[in-house]
Structure 1
Amino acid sequence: MEAEILILRHQLNIQRRHVPKRVAFSAMDRLIFVGLSRLVPNTIKALTIVKPDTVIRWHRAGFRAYWRWKSRHRGGRPATPLEIRRLIREMSIVNPLWGAPRIHGELLKLGIEIGQTSVAKYMARRRGPPSQGWTTFLRNHADGIVAMDLFVVPTISFRLLYGLLIVGHGRRQILWCGVTAHPTAEWIANQLTQACGWEQIPRYLIRDRDGAYAEIFTRRVRSIGIRDRPTSPRSPWQNAYAERLIGSIRRECMDHIVVFGERHLRHVLLSYMSYYNGTRPHLSLNKDAPISRAAETVGRIICRPILGGLHHQYARIDLR
């Protein structure tokens, strides 16, 4: 028998020399090798076409496959729908300070029945501590900032009138419109006092370095408690909100109207201010107005002209 085993091994060596490529094994071949090695461990020494470590690796792979089959899903709780999982992930991303209990409470208020452990499972994983984004950080400070600027409007008699705009950075709302033919520092200071009052005082004021803002104006600003922040010379982009507002007024109003005088210009600017704050949608406010408009879904649509028909306001009225 030993001689026969020796001849068989020699034949295998000859076969290996003539077929140097890797031998392919079927699942039954692997099962036979693994079974014999577990029943008779000494037979592993007789392996020549495979290494002993290969047989052990096959056995471990079979062990994992067996228990994967053994612990396969057999029902239980229903899977969470994909739209709910996306909603949980989105809520955790846009609200970095919220944890699983807070998100779970919001979902319950939306009528979504789900466990808190499932919410924690589908939340976005963060590498570091939660932090707000730059957009949120800047918007939290925008409510305490106002900007002001002067612009020139020619009349029908070629006189020059000056309009003063004060706009809040929080909701891009026009806080004040003033008109004068002689913009002195005292007049501008009085306009700022009337616009801001003594109760809702902004923290910062952004303006350019126009010569009209003289010592009287700066003293009034300091006495109110506002921090004056003039822009750099020849840098209109540093007062972008006010410059953009003046451009909107010219494109949407003043370029289509001939001004008769100071009283007429004041009336036009106040009409546009009412339209701008309460009706006109803004891209930066997600198509909402500075004074938020509620969506109307019931009633007949009516049209109301603004500025003599230059613009229109659309609303619904209930006829019941």
Structure 2
Amino acid sequence: MIGLLYFVLAVLVSPFKSKMRLEAENAALRHQLIILRRRLPGRIQFANSDRWFFVRLYRWFPSILQVLTIIRPETLVRWHRAGFRRYWRWKSRSLGGRPPIAVGLRALIRQMSVENPLWGAPRLHSELLKLGFEVAQSSVAKYMVRRRAPSHQGWRIFLRNHAPDIAAMDLFVVPTVGFDLLYAFVIVRLDRRNLVWVNVTRNPTAEWVARQITEAFPWDEAPGYMIRDRDCIYGTIVTRRLRAMGIRDKPTAPASPWQNGFAERLIGSIRRECLDHIIVFGETHLRQILRSYARYYNDIRTHRSLDKDAPVSRPVHRTGSIKSLPILGGLHHHYARV
């Protein structure tokens, strides 16, 4: 009786429905019959094409929910939402990332990493920039050779506000193969980190230090300020020489090596990158090593604080074959295009 009542109501309402809406409902009814005629054992199985058909029909004519009998209306809505999510996941997919790194460049990064075990990703990246390769530092770190070496904390530079006319000097001790002690003296300018002067002696005196300062700076190129520690070697002779050259003496506070951070950082680099890997035979040998390292430090070695440039600015070469030139017997290498 209730079914007959629904049929009568449908007949009465049908003239007021649009033709397209009636066609959609008829298509939904026909497709349900097709699915039921498959007669597969168990529950009714829906193929993806069936789901796609009902979802598309539902998007155009939501009224087909009234004629669905083999599935619940909420099931069709769930299919529609799942399809919407998959569509936008496909539309928002990544269309590509960074361009791939060339095989030759990967091999060059590994070669430089193997030949220079003391270099990290920033140093390798700066060398590649000087060779004309446009590559990210993260890519360099990715293709470097992995080592199981403990990480070392870098030196902090506490003196930030400096002027181009400031220099710093310091002494450090180097043992020889015979356990004798040699004293190396360095002077560095703070603006471009130039290693201005380096020399070696067995018996440092105030007269010797004063003579080194005179030889390091011509009278018209002397800095305005000189930072030093309070070692007793810097006696009256040294302070008078500085005053005569127009240099203002700036000793650090007692037991405060961080106030002479640039010189301490330079000495640390000399030890880590050179002296810690070489056995010194004597004064002449040490002087040759330090002067060779000074040339490498000023002309070739890149600095992060100088925007990955050398103290003596290096031009960028983009053409020519790459040559690897050993420095300090192969402890470091210089890469250049020829």
Task: Provide TM-score, normalisation by structure 1.
Answer: 0.55
- For residue 302 of structure 2, what is the aligned residue in structure 1? 281
How far apart in 2 are the matches of 1:150 and 1:287? 27
Secondary structure at 1:142 match in 2: coil
| Aligned mates of 1:141, 1:182 — CA distance in 2 | 32
For 1:146 and 1:186, locate their aligned partners in 2 and report how far apart those are by CA, in whole Å.
20
1:211-257 deviation per Cα after TM superposition (whole angstroms, max 9, x unaligned): 10011111111111100000000000000000000000000000000
Separation of aligned partners in 2, 1:275 and 1:297: 21
CA contact (8 A) 1:139 1:170 kept: no
Match for residue 228 of structure 2?
207
SS at match of 2:177: coil
Report how far residue 142 of structure 1 moved. 2.0
State the match for 1:248 in structure 2. Answer: 269
Which residue is 1:185 aligned to?
206
- Partners of 2:163 and 2:273 lie apart in 1 by 26
Alignment of 1:163 with 2:184, yes or no, is: yes
Query: Is 1:309 matched with 2:309?
Result: no
Q: Which of 276, 279, 294 lines up with 2:315 in the alignment?
A: 294
**CA–CA separation in structure 2 for the residues paired with 1:225 and 1:282:** 30
One-letter amino acid of the counterpart of residue 300, structure 1: S
Q: Which residue of structure 1 aligns with residue 172 of structure 2? A: 151
Aligned-residue offset at 1:140: 8.6
Q: One-letter code of the match for 2:223?
A: P
Query: How far apart are 1:197 and its partner, in Å?
Result: 1.5
Measure how far apart 1:141 and its partner are: 5.0
Q: How far is 1:139 from its partner?
A: 8.2
Alignment gaps of 5+ in structure 2: 1-158
Per the alignment, residue 194 of structure 1 pairs with 215
CA distance in 2, matches of 1:232, 1:139: 17
Letter matched to residue 299 of structure 1: G
Counterpart CA distance in 2 for 1:201 and 1:173 is: 14
- Aligned counterparts, 1:48-197, within 5 A: 141-197=162-218
Could you report, residue by residue, the CA deviation over 1:2-30 in whole angstroms, capped at 9, with x for unpaired residues?
A: xxxxxxxxxxxxxxxxxxxxxxxxxxxxx
Q: Secondary structure of the residue that 1:234 maps to in structure 2?
A: coil
Between the two proteins, the alignment pairs up a number of residues equal to 180
Q: Distance in 2 between matches of 1:263 and 1:180?
A: 9
Change in Cα spacing, 1:255 to 1:141, as seen in structure 2 (3 Å) is: closer
Give, as a single letter, the amino acid of the residue that structure 2 aligns with 1:151: F
Residue correspondence of structure 1 range 36-55 to structure 2 within 5 A: none
**Aligned residue number for residue 245 of structure 2:** 224
Deviation for aligned residue 1:201: 1.1
Q: Distance in 1 between matches of 2:193 and 2:299?
A: 11
Question: In the aligned structure 2, how far is the partner of 1:139 from the partner of 1:152?
Answer: 27
TM-score, with normalisation over the residues of structure 2? 0.52
> Residue 238 of structure 1 corresponds to which residue in structure 2?
259
Q: What secondary structure sits across from 1:281 in the alignment?
A: coil
The code of the aligned residue for 2:323 comes to: I
Paired residue type of 1:231 = T
Gap regions ≥5 residues in structure 1:
1-137
SS of aligned partner of 2:334: strand
Instruction: Tell me which amino acid in the other structure corresponds to 1:199.
Output: D
SS at match of 1:209: coil
CA RMSD of aligned residues (A): 1.3
Query: In structure 2, the residue corresponding to 1:198 is in which secondary structure?
Result: coil
**Shift in Å at residue 196 of structure 1?**
1.0
Equivalent residue runs for 1:13-28 within 5 Å: none
Task: State the SS of the aligned residue for 1:152.
Answer: strand
Once the 2 structures are TM-superposed, how far is the Cα of residue 291 of structure 1 from its aligned partner?
0.3
List structure 1 runs of 4+ shifted beyond 6 angstroms. Answer: none
How has the CA–CA distance of structure 1 residues 183 and 195 changed in structure 2, closer, same or farther, with 3 Å as cutoff? same
One-letter code aligned to 2:235: A
